[in-house]
């Protein structure tokens, strides 16, 4: 069955969701208030790096099932479903800022079809379905929560092969209409009330953050007692109750979701009278992780860092994306610059000369990046880093020193070349 759908917001979530719904056979209009973005999309360009997305956008446009518009009023007219996929950035007190979502709701309220369903996909505090309903002020329109669980870099595949679809609705018949949109996806369906759906999203992302902070804390212990984190992770993950995923130690977690969602959850809990100290500690462990990385750089490059040149490989918050938002790499670079180091960076997805942070020079060659540097720090797990010519790296650096925060370099090969080495969770 094909439905008429409007998607408000063409960021990672909106563009992926709209495009995938068109792929499933629905008739989709994607709306954005950024004219440059709409122009780019209309001319066949894709504003984000997302595997599989360009092909599916082209397919949807060619089939006449996917179109883009900057006009929100025209975009929602005649639509049975309107998906809100607008940003919910972190406000100054840690809570999610709902102004975009409220303003989107106000813009569409007079133009919705009777019986239309507004589906909130943005990550919003518990109770926000009500906030949207109030902003709409329409008795004849339904509001449903349907959180997204899309990872950047695999968003298309996550949408088309979901591990679950969560629908939060007060009315069963409305929930069934939303469920029908996902009929072609063979996924377990959880139909619940809006507050539960909203909390499920936060609980999921916060748990992932907790898992990573846990393994980074275990990595610190491993270093102190002379254990090897890779083997610990293998042994730990083979317990099916724990699982292998999200146990990779690293420079800390970042990105557009985990930092803001953990802060928002702490805030939601506090507002409801619960002091979520477990989550607060996970956030603290994450901050400490950035500092631990800088400490490792000091150890291998020599102290003080003032006046030293540090080569950085990787700026994005993880491999497979061009997103720099809340990237641990940027946070580490910021601390290095604050200590007076000159930072030269290379990232396959960041253009040379890009203005990422004051004091950081971005170059387009990984070896030139190392030229005359006092240490190399690997901050993102791009696969190409494990294939670099270590002799060229050794020749380029002023001293053979490396901090590998993703444990992607060949430690034995570095040892043979007499590098001073620091990984995460290994000695």
Identify whether the C-beta of residue 23 lies closer than 8 Å to the C-beta of residue 60: yes
Establish if 213 lies at the interface with ligand UDX (CB under 6 A): no
Q: What is the DSSP string of 354-408?
A: --SSTTEEEES-HHHHHTT-SEEEE-S--GGGGGS-HHHHHHHSSS-EEEETT--
**Which of 70, 237 has the CB closer to ligand UDX?**
237
Establish if 68 lies at the interface with ligand UDX (CB under 6 A): no
Establish if 331 lies at the interface with ligand UDX (CB under 6 A): no
Per the annotation, the verdict on 370 as an active-site residue is no
Establish if 50 lies at the interface with ligand UDX (CB under 6 A): no
What SS3 class is residue 135?
A: helix
Establish if 142 lies at the interface with ligand UDX (CB under 6 A): no
Residue 247 beta carbon to ligand UDX: minimum distance, rounded to whole angstroms: 5
DSSP state of 96: B
Residue 158 beta carbon to ligand UDX: minimum distance, rounded to whole angstroms: 7
Which of the stretches 30-38, 89-97, 113-121, 249-257 binds ligand UDX when contact is defined by CB under 6 A?
249-257
Which of the stretches 48-56, 131-139, 253-261, 294-302 binds ligand UDX when contact is defined by CB under 6 A?
253-261
Q: Which long-range contacts (CB under 8 A, 24 or more apart) does 1-4 make?
A: 1/25, 1/180, 1/183, 2/26, 2/27, 2/65, 3/27, 3/80, 3/81, 3/180, 3/181, 4/78, 4/79, 4/80, 4/81
By CB under 6 A, name the one of 67, 138, 151, 298 that touches ligand UDX. 151
Return the structure tokens found at 231: 């083997």
- DSSP lists the bridge partners of residue 329 as none
Residue 424 beta carbon to ligand UDX: minimum distance, rounded to whole angstroms: 9
Residue 212 beta carbon to ligand UDX: minimum distance, rounded to whole angstroms: 5
Establish if 152 lies at the interface with ligand UDX (CB under 6 A): yes
332 alpha-carbon distance from chain centroid:
18
**Which of 75, 249 has the CB closer to ligand UDX?**
249
Pairing state of beta strands 360-363 and 375-378?
Answer: unpaired
Establish if 205 lies at the interface with ligand UDX (CB under 6 A): yes
By CB under 6 A, name the one of 258, 282, 285, 362 that touches ligand UDX. 258
Identify whether the C-beta of residue 117 lies closer than 8 Å to the C-beta of residue 92: no
Question: Which backbone phi and psi does 59 adopt, to 5 degrees?
Answer: -60, -45
- DSSP lists the bridge partners of residue 404 as 378
By CB under 6 A, name the one of 100, 207, 214, 246 that touches ligand UDX. 246
Question: Which backbone phi and psi does 210 adopt, to 5 degrees?
Answer: -60, -45
Which of the stretches 22-30, 77-85, 241-249, 265-273 binds ligand UDX when contact is defined by CB under 6 A?
241-249
**Active-site pick, 30, 85, 257, 369:** 257
By CB under 6 A, name the one of 4, 54, 149, 367 that touches ligand UDX. 149
Establish if 247 lies at the interface with ligand UDX (CB under 6 A): yes
State the residue for tokens 């928002």: 264
Residue 251 beta carbon to ligand UDX: minimum distance, rounded to whole angstroms: 7
By CB under 6 A, name the one of 254, 314, 366, 423 that touches ligand UDX. 254
By CB under 6 A, name the one of 317, 346, 382, 419 that touches ligand UDX. 317
State the residue for tokens 């190392």: 370
Size of interface with ligand UDX, in residues (CB under 6 A): 21
Establish if 148 lies at the interface with ligand UDX (CB under 6 A): yes
**Which of 111, 151 has the CB closer to ligand UDX?**
151
307 alpha-carbon distance from chain centroid:
33
Identify whether the C-beta of residue 369 lies closer than 8 Å to the C-beta of residue 344: yes
Among 295, 203, 287, CA closest to 253: 287
Q: Which residues bind ligand UDX (CB under 6 A)?
A: 148-152, 205, 208, 212, 246-248, 250, 253-258, 317-318, 328
Question: Catalytic amino acids?
Answer: 257
């Amino acid at each position: 069955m094909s439905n008429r759908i409007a998607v408000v917001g063409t960021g990672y979530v909106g563009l992926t969701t709209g495009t995938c719904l068109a792929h499933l056979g629905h008739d989709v209009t994607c709306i954005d208030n950024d004219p440059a973005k709409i122009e780019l999309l209309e001319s066949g360009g894709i504003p984000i790096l997302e595997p599989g997305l360009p092909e599916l956008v082209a397919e949807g446009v060619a089939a006449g099932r996917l179109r883009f518009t900057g006009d929100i009023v025209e975009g929602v007219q005649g639509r049975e479903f309107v998906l809100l996929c607008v940003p919910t950035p972190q406000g100054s007190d840690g809570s999610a800022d709902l102004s975009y979502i409220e303003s989107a709701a106000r813009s569409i309220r007079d133009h919705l079809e009777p019986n239309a369903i507004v589906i909130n996909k943005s990550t919003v505090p518990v109770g926000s379905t009500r906030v949207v309903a109030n902003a709409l002020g329409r008795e004849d329109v339904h509001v449903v929560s349907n959180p997204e669980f899309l990872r950047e870099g695999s968003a298309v595949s996550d949408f088309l092969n979901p591990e679950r679809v969560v629908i939060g609705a007060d009315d069963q018949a409305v929930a069934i209409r939303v469920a029908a949109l996902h009929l072609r996806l063979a996924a377990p369906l959880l139909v619940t009330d809006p507050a539960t759906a909203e909390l499920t999203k936060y609980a999921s992302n916060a748990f992932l953050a907790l898992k990573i902070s846990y393994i980074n804390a275990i990595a610190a212990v491993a270093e102190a007692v002379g254990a090897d984190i890779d083997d610990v992770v293998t042994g730990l993950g083979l317990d099916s109750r724990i699982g292998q995923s999200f146990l990779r130690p690293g420079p800390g977690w970042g990105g557009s979701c985990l930092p803001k969602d953990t802060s928002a959850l702490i805030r939601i809990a506090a507002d409801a009278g619960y002091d979520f100290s477990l989550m607060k500690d996970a956030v603290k462990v994450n901050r400490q992780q950035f500092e631990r990385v800088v400490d490792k750089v000091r150890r291998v490059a020599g102290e003080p860092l003032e006046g030293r040149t540090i080569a950085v490989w990787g700026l994005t918050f993880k491999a497979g994306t061009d997103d720099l938002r809340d990237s641990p790499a940027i946070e580490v670079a910021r601390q290095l610059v604050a200590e007076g180091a000159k930072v030269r960076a290379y990232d396959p997805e960041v253009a040379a000369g890009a203005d990422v942070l004051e004091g950081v020079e971005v170059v387009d060659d990984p070896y030139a990046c190392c030229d005359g540097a006092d240490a190399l720090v690997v901050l993102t797990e791009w696969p190409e880093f494990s294939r670099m010519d270590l002799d060229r790296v050794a020749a380029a650096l002023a001293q053979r020193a490396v901090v590998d925060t993703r444990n992607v370099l060949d430690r034995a090969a570095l040892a043979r070349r007499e590098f001073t080495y620091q990984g995460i969770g290994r000695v």
